[in-house]
Amino acid sequence: MRKSIGILTSGGDSPGLNAAIRGVGKAIEGRYGYSIIGFLDGFRGLAENRYIKLDSASLSGILTHGGTILGTSRDKPHKMPMNGKIVDVTDKIIRNCNKLGLEALVCLGGGGTQKNASRLMEHGLNVITLPKTIDNDVPMTDV
């Protein structure tokens, strides 16, 4: 069974996300031989286990298209609106990642995404983040 890496985009939509998804995906698949699972609509898709398999064909042709093929949301795992209530879906996210056998989760987003990714790391997930912000609110990303 091939090893898998998950990827999601979170926060506001912006140009460059598809290019980042493509770059990460091509490296993961081509150089390391892992399969790529793209979660739809950010952390919400991860909580609801909504994903697509990404491969060379699905990553082809997205480089020059702005936005994200995965969709995005501003949902936070520790306080996500679900069925009219605000709930902590962190444990559900961890279970979903474990069921899929993810080696790591790549999160593309700004300051809020970085905080949410850090919380998931505290619960044992291997997380890689790529900062996406115009607010200059993600420390140490200029180095």
Angle between helical axes of 111-122 and 90-100 (0-180°, round to 10): 70
- Measured in whole angstroms, how far is the alpha carbon of residue 7 from the centre of its chain? 4
Q: Per the residue annotation, which of 13, 41, 135, 142 is the catalytic one?
A: 135
Structure tokens at 69: 């093929």
Amino acid at 85: K
Residue 91 designated active-site: no
Structure tokens at 29: 């698949």
Tokens 């997380």 sit at which residue? 127
- Distance between CA atoms of residues 66 and 73, nearest Å: 16
The residues that are catalytic are 135
